């Protein structure tokens, strides 16, 4: 398998709004960092979701992240231990039938044995990016770890680099699903997926293998009243995220069991001692996310240069990326 990622990073951002009308306003997710709830117009900008052939076969997520990166329990713990709990984001799904879900906030949420199930992935604050050879930057929901200047991953091949990113798009190819590379090719031209041959990938964690390892089960559905509503509205609070991330970190692969010790430890990690400002203490991630949302609120139309990331991320301690020229 060989891919051409230069000037792309299509799998690290939600770029479909670029197709809609050129007014690529971003989706401001998370009440603790953003200001916004999705509008119906933004919800409609999902050309790859909700297609007739998908609807029967798969459960629809409550959120509208088109490139969600599911993390394993051990990866969730590693991000927490690195002071990067602010980077994490849960995802729920609508159940396909009433019998496979639980009713919360007027929605039937997918569940296993009466426990609502969810993934934990990476957040996408709005960043000014110019992918696919575009000359002008646009605010787009972009992975917290993507350097908007070089469009390279700040944690590529590091200890925290997620298995899912390492395997992409191999997992899609193995499951005979369209890849983001092909979607970008269809929309903007160019050659992204250069070689589609692939090895048999490990780590897919399908079915019951996923429970407690990548698919987490919340043991107290009643505690999620209000949380599910906010997840669907893109308005999760830090406390909401802390509850779900703590359950994920406290999970045990292969079972729905939760470790009280790990739950309390993880929750404290996400919430920190000063809930207003410094949940993760030393990490650059939380302050950078809040800064991105604030800049987005203040200058939706006047999009700044991606190089503003030097002030928002690098000056706070984010690792630099090498640029493509340096890799040739
Ligand atoms: S962790 Fe890196 S490779 Fe994965 S989505 Fe984020 S920026 Fe992209």
Task: For ligand 1, say whether the CB of 153 is within 6 Å of any of its atoms.
Answer: yes
Measuring from atom 8 of ligand 1, which residue has the nearest CA? 12
- pLDDT value of residue 193: 87
Of 61-65, 117-121, 141-145, 273-277, which gets the smallest average pLDDT? 273-277
The two structure tokens encoding residue 123: 């957040």
User: Is the CB of 165 inside a 6 Å radius of any atom of ligand 1?
Assistant: yes
Q: Mind listing the pLDDT tens digit for each residue in 256-297?
A: 899 999 999 999 999 874 444 444 456 899 999 999 999 999
What pLDDT is attached to residue 32? 55
> In Å, how far from its chain's centre is CA 15?
13
Dist. CA 76–CA 214, nearest whole Å: 9
Q: Which residue has the higher pLDDT, 57 or 129?
A: 129
Residue 1 in this model has a pLDDT that exceeds 80: no
Residue 184 Cβ < 6 Å to ligand 1: no
Q: Where are the alpha helices (DSSP H) in 32-111?
A: 40-44, 52-57, 73-81
CA of 100 to the centre of ligand 1 (A): 32
Q: Is 24 in the pocket of ligand 1 (CB under 6 A)?
A: no
Query: How high does pLDDT run on average in the chain?
Result: 85
Range with top average pLDDT, 3-7, 208-212, 213-217, 270-274:
213-217
Neighbours of 132 (CB within 10 A): 18
What whole-number distance in Å separates Cα of residue 41 and Cα of residue 52? 20
Confidence of residue 206 (pLDDT cuts 50, 70, 90): low
Q: Name the residue at shortest CA distance from atom 4 of ligand 1.
A: 165
The residue behind tokens 């930057």 is 137
Q: How confident is the model at residue 197 (pLDDT cuts 50, 70, 90)?
A: confident
CA-165 nearest atom, ligand 1:
4
Q: Which atom of ligand 1 is nearest to the CA of 146?
A: 7
Report yes or no on whether pTM surpasses 0.75: yes
Q: Is 70 exceeded by the pLDDT of residue 242?
A: yes
* CA 106/CA 63 separation, integer angstroms: 16
Ligand 1 pocket check for 162: Cβ under 6 Å:
yes
- Taking the centre of ligand 1 as the mean of its atom positions, its distance from the CA of residue 187, in whole angstroms, is 21
Residue nearest atom 1 of ligand 1, based on CA coordinates: 145
């Amino acid at each position: 398998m060989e891919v051409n990622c230069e000037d792309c990073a299509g799998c690290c951002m939600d770029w479909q709004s670029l197709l809609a009308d050129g007014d690529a306003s971003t989706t401001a997710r998370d009440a603790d960092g953003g200001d916004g709830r999705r509008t119906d117009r933004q919800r409609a900008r999902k050309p790859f979701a909700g297609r007739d052939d998908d609807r029967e076969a798969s459960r629809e997520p409550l959120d509208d992240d088109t490139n969600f990166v599911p993390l394993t329990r051990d990866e969730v713990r590693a991000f927490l231990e690195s002071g990067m709990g602010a980077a994490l984001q849960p995802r729920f799904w609508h159940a396909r039938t009433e019998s496979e879900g639980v009713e919360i906030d007027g929605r039937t949420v997918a569940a296993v044995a009466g426990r609502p199930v969810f993934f934990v992935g990476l957040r996408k604050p709005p960043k000014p990016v110019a992918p696919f050879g575009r000359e002008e930057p646009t605010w787009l929901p972009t992975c917290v770890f993507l350097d908007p200047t070089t469009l390279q991953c700040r944690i590529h091949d590091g200890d925290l680099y997620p298995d899912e990113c390492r395997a992409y798009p191999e997992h899609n190819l193995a499951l005979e699903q369209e890849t983001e590379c092909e979607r970008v090719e269809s929309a903007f031209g160019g050659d992204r997926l250069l070689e589609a041959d692939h090895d048999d990938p490990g780590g897919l964690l399908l079915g019951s293998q996923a429970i407690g390892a990548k698919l987490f089960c919340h043991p107290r559905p009643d505690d999620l009243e209000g949380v599910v509503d906010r997840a669907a509205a893109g308005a999760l609070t830090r406390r909401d995220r802390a509850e779900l991330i703590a359950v994920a970190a406290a999970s045990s692969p292969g079972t729905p069991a939760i470790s009280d010790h790990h739950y309390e430890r993880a929750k404290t990690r996400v919430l920190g001692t000063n809930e207003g400002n410094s949940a993760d203490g030393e990490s650059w991630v939380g302050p950078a996310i809040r800064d991105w949302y604030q800049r987005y609120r203040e200058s939706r139309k006047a999009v700044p240069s991606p190089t503003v990331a030097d002030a928002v991320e690098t000056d706070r301690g984010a690792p630099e990326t090498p640029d493509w020229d340096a890799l040739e």
